[in-house]
Amino acid sequence: MTSVLITAGASLILTAVLGYFLLPLLRALKAGQSVREIGPTWHNNKAGTPLMGGLMFILAAIVCLLANVGRIRDYSVFYVLILGLCFGLVGFLDDYCKVKYKRDLGLTALQKAMLQMAVSAIFLYLLYKQGILTCDLYIPFVDVRFQIHPLLYIFFAMFVMVGCVNAVNLTDGIDGLSSSVTIPVMVFFTAASLGMKRYDLALLPAALVGGLIAYLFYNWHPAKVFMGDTGSLFLGGIVCAMAFALDIPLILVLVGFVYIVETVSDLIQIGYFKATHGKRFFKMAPIHHHFEMCGWKEEKIVIVFATVSAVMCLLAWFGISSLVG
């Protein structure tokens, strides 16, 4: 427990320091955000805000984990980190294309999907070889597991991982939102790891709790930097990887509730737009933009969404009480 708290604190300090030096570098490299033409008009003043700020908490998490490498016996924590880094690399390539070609869209949807599926498959294979991944699905609250066919499980797992990663990415649409929503999720995975006596695994989400709190100092409205796809895809990778490493993937329905709502709102908007030949169900999607268009300030949206995330994570804790008791 002590090492987990020290790791969180060290990551907080390290992220804050890295941000101090990284921000001028990103500005000098002109690694700025391009604003989508279809977005809210008041987002135009965000143009030029540096991207790739996710490097702050990513580098801090790596350093904090390496500092504990001599004591780590559960190597699944490294698999989780590697998965996050691979997704983060996909995001980095996407951000690089945006910056280099001065456009809002980087890699194509197909390119990102193929890369994400490949990364997911490799991660699942590593967990399976280590005997960590089972084909059992744990049902929260009822304390029941049921086994499904391995091939079906792999397809299910890849769908969940790619979907989860992109759902977290969708949430990164206004200042401070993605990090604020994800902090309670990482607190949950830290507590769940400790409760299941997976002490080494708890180090990574703990490092991200500290890192994201420090990152918020730079990303709170008005944001000085955006995490970019580098940061959001990394976080999405860690979220889903932690669920599978703990063998409780269905818990993502609860801890990832905000991510799911964001994604579903986007799908509803697209489907309704096509079905009605141009009409919109929401004023704008994902749903955090709908609330913006309704007059909510960015700070209010962040506080409400983060509160919902925290409540759902608390509910998820009760859902796995038999595993952590």
Give yes or no for residue 114 having a pLDDT over 90.
Answer: no
Number of domains in the chain: 1
Choose the most confident range, by mean pLDDT, from 164-173, 224-233, 314-323. Answer: 314-323
Asked if residues 7 and 210 have their Cβ atoms less than 8 Å apart, the reply is yes
- 21-35, 122-136, 147-161, 292-306, range with the lowest pLDDT: 21-35
How far is 288 from 263, CA to CA, in rounded Å? 11
Give yes or no for residue 33 having a pLDDT over 60.
Answer: no
Q: Closest Cα partner for 186 from 173, 203, 161, 165?
A: 203
Q: Closest Cα partner for 167 from 252, 289, 81?
A: 252
For range 209-227, the mean pLDDT: 92
H or E, element range at 67? helix 55-67
Chain segment 144-195, per-residue pLDDT in tens = 888 888 888 888 888 899 999 999 999 988 999 999 999 999 999 999 999 9
pTM confidence score: 0.91
Residues spanned by the domain of 202 = 2-324
- 30-44, 54-68, 186-200, range with the lowest pLDDT: 30-44
Cα→Cα distances 123→56, 78, 155, 238, 241, Å: 24, 11, 13, 11, 8
Give yes or no for residue 14 having a pLDDT over 90.
Answer: yes
Choice between 102 and 175, residue whose per-residue pLDDT is larger: 175
Choose the most confident range, by mean pLDDT, from 161-165, 210-214, 278-282. Answer: 210-214
Q: Is the CA virtual torsion 70, 127, 235, 95 positive or negative?
A: positive
Give the model's pLDDT for residue 95: 76
Kindly state the percentage of the chain with pLDDT values over 70. 91
- 96-110, 158-172, 177-191, 225-239, range with the lowest pLDDT: 96-110
Cα→Cα distances 310→182, 187, 255, 314, Å: 9, 9, 8, 6
Give yes or no for residue 44 having a pLDDT over 90.
Answer: no
Structure tokens at 170: 């969708």
Structure tokens at 187: 């607190």
For range 291-307, the mean pLDDT: 94
Give yes or no for residue 37 having a pLDDT over 80.
Answer: no
| Phi-psi label, residue 29: left if phi above 0, alpha if psi -120 to 50, beta otherwise | alpha
How far is 56 from 58, CA to CA, in rounded Å? 6
Give the model's pLDDT for residue 140: 92
- 121-130, 203-212, 220-229, 244-253, range with the lowest pLDDT: 121-130
For range 126-136, the mean pLDDT: 76
Give yes or no for residue 316 having a pLDDT over 80.
Answer: yes
Asked if residues 32 and 224 have their Cβ atoms less than 8 Å apart, the reply is no
Angle, in degrees to the nearest 10, between helices 55-67 and 228-245: 40
Burial label for 115, CB within 10 Å (0-12, 13-18, 19+), is buried
Please give the mean pLDDT across all residues of the chain. Answer: 87
Give the model's pLDDT for residue 183: 97
Structure tokens at 228: 């970019």
How far is 80 from 161, CA to CA, in rounded Å? 12
Give yes or no for residue 12 having a pLDDT over 70.
Answer: yes
pLDDT classification of 108: cutoffs 50, 70, 90: confident
Angle, in degrees to the nearest 10, between helices 55-67 and 76-101: 160
Give the model's pLDDT for residue 106: 62
